[in-house]
Structure 1
Amino acid sequence: MRIVFMGTPDFAVPSLRSLLDGGWNVVAAVTQPDRPKGRKRELTPPPVKAFALERGLPVLQPERMRAAEAVEAVAALKPDLIVTAAYGQILPKAVLDLPRLGCVNVHGSLLPRYRGGAPIQRSIIDGESVTGVTLMYMAEGLDTGDMIARVEVPITDEDTAGTMFEKLSAAGAELLLEWLPRLADGTAPRVPQDDALATYAPNLTRDDERLHWERTSRELFNRTRGLYPMAGAFTYLAGEVFKVWGVKAPDAGDFDLRPEWRAAAPGTVLDTGPFGIRVRTGDGSVVLTEVQPAGKKAMSAAEYARGARLPLGTVLG
């Protein structure tokens, strides 16, 4: 069985590794083009390309998978099965129709919930306590194909988008390896999704990253960890972007405001100390634990408040 693997970020690497370590015949890896990264904007290969080259795999990097030359390049590989994991482009029908065993995708949610490009981040932002991975056949719609199997993975208060990417990528690789024999012999099940239960997880925007302090403490906590360590959450301090990388999970004390704090507007700095920076929210307060002022490196909130002599009553926005 000739397998073509399509994926781009770190999330996809365990699935590709599981195929190779399991002895399956992966004939090529298809990934996104190299992109400039970092302050120096150096051209950087995606993780899947780096790993594929380490293992001696041919790599294709079409700018647009819908382009005729890209379709022809994949067709020339004569795939029996295409496996994708966070590839980052929608496959056209011309590609979906190529392999005799179809195209399958390792998706980071319990479909039909969280269809789209940011299921892991948005499940945390939404305060979900359980997510998972779905192995599915690909169709022309956005994550609408029939399901093969699912596995649940809990989300704890200690989890961030970063830890959940690791957990779900590992779970997805195991799920893929478990079901490959039945994909190979054509006996894998096809369970249609219930579209009435579908929710969506579009890619994150700049406004998704901004902390709106009138929200509840729990919502702000979830948003911050759902954005860590990728884009990170932000607010404004004295008109400049002020990144918030860490927020302590709210506890009972965060809702029991002192009398002098109760009239403060959301976003007001209520207190600072070794614990961090306490900020008024829509229903109480949260404690910031790690921040990054404009033009500086990330640091503990306590260190920043001490060095900047952050005045109580300062309003973040």
Structure 2
Amino acid sequence: MRLVFMGTPDFAVPSLQALVAAGHKIGAVITQPDRPRGRGKKFLPPPVKETALAAGLPVWQPARMQDEILMRDLRQLEPELIVVVAFGRILPRAILDLPGLGCVNLHASLLPHYRGAAPIHRAVMNGETETGVTTMWMAPQLDAGDIILQEKLPIPPAATTGEIHDRLAEKGAGLLVHTLELIAAGRAPRHPQDEALVTYAPPLRPEEEEIDWQQPVEVIYNQIRGLNPWPGAYTRRSGERLKVYSAQIAEPAAAGRPGEVIQITKDGFAVQTGRGQILITNVQPAGKRAMPASAYLQGYPLAPGEMLGCG
């Protein structure tokens, strides 16, 4: 099959690599433009661009999907199928209707659950015990196309978004290759999504990153691992942001007020929540690298009774 691949971040890289390894003819890889990243704000290529160039594939980076030159070039390629993995752009109807076999998307959830931009973050933050990947025929509505294949993945109690992201990316790559085999054989199914079961995973909002110590310990624990490694949950100490990357639900020590440091241990420091206590084990002070909480305490001593989360 003649393919066009659309994708941008790390999540899409294993899928592109798997399609190349499977021998598919990829006429072009379309990804988002280079953007400033990191502390230096240097313009850097998206991971999919780097992977495509290493494989000798042509890379297109249109500023917008309604571009007339893009449409002209796509028509000249005459792709039989367009494959989309975490592209980050809405495809206009003209592109969806272009390939003879349609457009296929790999989504990081068990649709119809968690449609939208942040399915992995939301699943972990919500304390889900299972997620998965779905391939589907694309439709104009957000993640609403007919399902082709799905594969489940358990979410262990201590797993972070980063860990689940990497496992789903690899699992999704294999599922995508199998999906294209079925399409090529004319045996790819179409299972309409049950609209009564739809849930959404909207983009993360900046205010969701700050820890609200009034929340129960389970909610805060899931927030911390759900925002690890990006963008990172944080609290405030003396007006400065203190990112929190890992924690454990702790055995209650002396009771305190939400946000109060209760106990200092060899592994970190325990904080009172709205219900229960949590042991903070890995943090990142403003302008510093992430570090074990025990190392943080050597340079930034804490004492029981200090309040976190206050301006």
Match of 1:152 in 2: 152
Match of 1:61 in 2: 61
Q: Does structure 1 residue 136 correspond to structure 2 residue 168?
A: no
| Pairs within 5 Å for 1:200-211 | 200-211=200-211
Q: Amino acid of the residue matched to residue 293 of structure 1?
A: P
Match of 1:306 in 2: 298
Gaps of 5+ in 2: none
Match of 2:184 in 1: 184
Deviation at 1:292, TM superposition (A): 1.3
Match of 1:289 in 2: 281
| Pairs within 5 Å for 1:257-296 | 257-258=253-254, 261=255, 264-296=256-288
CA distance in 1, matches of 2:157, 2:195: 30
Q: Amino acid of the residue matched to residue 231 of structure 1?
A: P
Q: Amino acid of the residue matched to residue 36 of structure 2?
A: P
Match of 1:81 in 2: 81
Task: Write the deviation string for residues 113-161 of structure 1: whole angstroms up to 9, x where unpaired.
Answer: 0000000111000000000000001100110000001000000023111
Q: Amino acid of the residue matched to residue 294 of structure 1?
A: A
Task: Write the deviation string for residues 154-210 of structure 1: whole angstroms up to 9, x where unpaired.
Answer: 000231111111110111111111121221243211100011100000111111211
| Pairs within 5 Å for 1:25-104 | 25-104=25-104
Q: If the length of structure 2 is used for normalisation, what is the TM-score?
A: 0.96
Name the SS of the counterpart of 1:219 in structure 2: helix
Match of 2:121 in 1: 121
Q: Is the 8 A contact 2:125 2:222 kept in 1?
A: yes
Q: Is the 8 A contact 2:282 2:290 kept in 1?
A: yes
CA distance in 2, matches of 1:198, 1:285: 34
Match of 1:3 in 2: 3
Name the SS of the counterpart of 1:224 in structure 2: helix
Q: Is the 8 A contact 1:65 1:91 kept in 2?
A: yes
Q: Amino acid of the residue matched to residue 309 of structure 1?
A: P
Q: Amino acid of the residue matched to residue 45 of structure 2?
A: P
Q: Amino acid of the residue matched to residue 220 of structure 1?
A: I
Q: If the length of structure 1 is used for normalisation, what is the TM-score?
A: 0.94
Match of 1:109 in 2: 109
CA distance in 1, matches of 2:32, 2:154: 30
Match of 2:233 in 1: 233
Task: Write the deviation string for residues 253-286 of structure 1: whole angstroms up to 9, x where unpaired.
Answer: 2xx342xx2xx22111111121201000111100
Q: Amino acid of the residue matched to residue 135 of structure 2?
A: L
Gaps of 5+ in 1: none
CA distance in 1, matches of 2:166, 2:184: 27
What percent of counterpart residues are identical? 49
How large is the Cα RMSD of the aligned pairs?
1.2
CA distance in 2, matches of 1:78, 1:314: 65
Q: Is the 8 A contact 2:270 2:279 kept in 1?
A: yes
Match of 2:222 in 1: 222
CA distance in 2, matches of 1:17, 1:205: 32
For residue 315 of structure 1, the aligned residue among 295, 307, 311 is: 307
Deviation at 1:295, TM superposition (A): 2.1
CA distance in 2, matches of 1:267, 1:186: 58
Q: Is the 8 A contact 1:291 1:304 kept in 2?
A: yes
CA distance in 2, matches of 1:310, 1:70: 57
